[in-house]
A and B are shown apart, each in its own frame.
Chain A
């Protein structure tokens, strides 16, 4: 099952709607990093509203994906963590490490906009460098 990746300006939108199998998770991560480098996306919003059970495997897939996107230089925000997902992840002693989380996709886009603006990066425009 392929996870669609949608470009919206400098940002990529991803909505994970079903538990990913091993193969699907790898495919998704590969697709995403390829799209990021192709489009030089500055931000990625990963929406998990549709996931009502996130086990340690899915949590790891999400964390790893966020880390990969970061290594390429994109900001990452996760949206739509369900209340019971939050409860279960914390109870298990897991968390979405180092990933900003917001309620919904709209806030994710706002947050990305702010963090992209804060780093003074306009996507290939070098005018903002001081030296």
Chain B
């Protein structure tokens, strides 16, 4: 299975996203370390859906011949200042950062498109 859509409607859906993304990364041939990075990034992204957007959808899929993509879509309040979202939070462990800087470091590419109040789409990719 190379595409998996998971709806994040409650907190236990987050751990399902983590398990599935690690399993898929393993099947796509990622090293154990990379598979854990992807799983941790999936945990951050799915937790964001739950905490900041009140739920949403995360899609796990093969990307091209040598990659994996995590994509989240939600209709929450959105991210007003994407640059700020990417710098905040990683300097302190007790700030209520949204974990995006962490995702950026764990993955190879991060694209964020946010139309506040309408739709936010985040794509995080990692290459083999």
Contact = CB atoms under 8 A, between A and B. Distances in A.
Interface in A77-114: 84-85, 87-88, 91-97
Nearest to B10: A21
B101 A87 contact: no
B40 interface: yes
A64 interface: yes
A66 to B, nearest CB: 11
Interface residues of B, number: 27
Contacts of B15: 18-19
Interface stretch (B56-64, B65-73, B87-95, B109-117): B87-95
A92 B106 contact: yes
Interface residues of A, number: 25
A22 interface: yes
Contact of B90 (A18, A54, A55, A92): A92
Nearest to B103: A92
Given A19-B14, A21-B12, A84 B33 contact: yes
Interface of B: 11-12, 14-15, 18, 22, 32-33, 36-37, 39-40, 43-44, 47, 51, 89-91, 93-94, 97, 99, 101-102, 105-106
What 8 A-B pairs are tightest by C-beta distance, nearest first? A92-B102, A55-B43, A84-B36, A21-B11, A88-B40, A93-B90, A56-B99, A53-B39
